[in-house]
């Protein structure tokens, strides 16, 4: 018995150099493949990101493409390194696929947000800095990430909206165009002179420096309402000047109509009392 164990031990000792050379070489090759592959992946993704930035591609898209490309290529490098160790990569890929399917079922909501994030980045209905209305909220876009969109409201609140909610509804981008139209509804009394009112509104439009004079200015009677004659007052401005002009016009209209004695009526009702016989 002792002689058999000694013989087996001697056999292993004799085979040790060959085993070390064989498996040591495989481990060394696997490490080299991983280290060199990781370095090449980093270089390639950095070059890709630099090329996108030189072509003035949006920063969000550059980061997204870089991250996705890096991890996808790194996965291939890991599989190649495992192949050098003698691991059956075909079965390994199958295991990764099965695990990915299981994770996908568990994270359906997150994957929906991820897919919506990809669509937002690819189709770019808005970009960082735009003022939008989406997902039941409105504000300036701070960040478009893979899973959510971050907005900052005018009163300095941060709103985080899931990308699926953004893509699942209407998106209103108030900053997409260089110019916007300011629409006002001005109601005056039925006793007011329509021509004098129109001239007053034209004067206000001409005196406001932020209004674009090369675009159409619309001043017209739009409705004979119950208590007032309603004018539409429409002017065009550069998008950043929208709210400034909007507030300025309201104040200017009130002041000018007061100066001219043109009344701005409020809803009212005339009550007629009829005396019945016997009362």
Res 38: pLDDT: 86
Q: pTM of the predicted model, to two decimals?
A: 0.60
The segment with the largest mean pLDDT, out of 9-13, 143-147, 234-238, is 234-238
Give, for 234, the enclosing helix (H) or strand (E).
strand 229-238
Q: Is a pLDDT exceeding 90 seen at residue 209? A: yes
Indicate if 166 and 183 belong to the same structural domain: no
Strands 229-238 and 218-224: antiparallel
Indicate if 37 and 97 belong to the same structural domain: yes
Res 244: pLDDT: 94
Residue 273 within any structural domain of the chain: no
Alpha helices in the chain (DSSP H): 2-54, 59-84, 89-106, 108-123, 163-167, 194-207, 242-260
> Per residue in 18-67, pLDDT tens?
556 566 677 788 788 888 888 888 888 888 888 877 777 666 667 767 77
Indicate if 217 and 157 belong to the same structural domain: no
Using alpha carbons, select from 68, 62, 59, 60 the residue that is nearest to residue 49.
62
Indicate if 184 and 169 belong to the same structural domain: no
Beta carbons of 133 and 122 less than 8 angstroms apart: no
Indicate if 136 and 49 belong to the same structural domain: no
Indicate if 102 and 6 belong to the same structural domain: yes
CA quadruple 37, 41, 43, 47: dihedral sign? positive
Which residues, at least 6 apart from 77, have a Cβ–Cβ distance to it below 8 Å? 33, 34, 37, 38, 41
Indicate if 9 and 100 belong to the same structural domain: yes
Res 2: pLDDT: 47
> Per residue in 84-113, pLDDT tens?
776 666 666 666 666 665 555 544 566 777
Q: Which residue has the tokens 């309201």?
A: 250
User: Range of 43's domain?
Assistant: 2-106
């Amino acid at each position: 018995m002792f002689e058999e164990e000694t013989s087996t031990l001697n056999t292993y000792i004799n085979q040790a150099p060959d085993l070390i050379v064989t498996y040591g070489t495989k481990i060394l090759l696997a490490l080299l493949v991983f280290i060199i592959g990781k370095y090449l992946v980093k270089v390639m993704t950095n070059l890709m990101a630099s090329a996108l930035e030189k072509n003035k591609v949006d920063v969000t898209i550059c980061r997204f493409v870089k991250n996705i490309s890096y991890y996808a290529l790194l996965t291939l490098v890991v599989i190649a390194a495992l192949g050098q160790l003698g691991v059956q990569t075909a079965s390994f890929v199958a295991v990764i696929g099965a695990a990915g399917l299981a994770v996908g079922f568990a994270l359906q909501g997150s994957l929906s947000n991820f897919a919506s994030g990809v669509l937002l980045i690819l189709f770019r209905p808005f970009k960082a800095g735009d003022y939008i209305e989406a997902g039941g909220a409105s504000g300036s876009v701070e960040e478009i990430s893979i899973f959510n969109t971050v907005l900052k409201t005018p009163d300095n609140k941060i709103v985080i909206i899931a990308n699926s909610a953004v893509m699942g509804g209407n998106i209103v981008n108030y900053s997409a165009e260089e110019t916007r139209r300011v629409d006002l509804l001005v109601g005056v009394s039925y006793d007011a002179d329509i021509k004098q009112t129109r001239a007053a509104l034209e004067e206000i439009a001409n005196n406001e420096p932020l209004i674009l004079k090369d675009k159409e200015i619309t001043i017209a009677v739009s409705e004979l309402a119950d208590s007032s004659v309603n004018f539409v007052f429409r002017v065009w401005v550069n998008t950043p000047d929208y709210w400034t002009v909007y507030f300025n016009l309201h104040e200017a209209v009130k002041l000018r109509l007061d100066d001219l004695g043109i009344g701005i009526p409020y809803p009212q009702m005339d009550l007629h009392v009829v005396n019945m016989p016997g009362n």
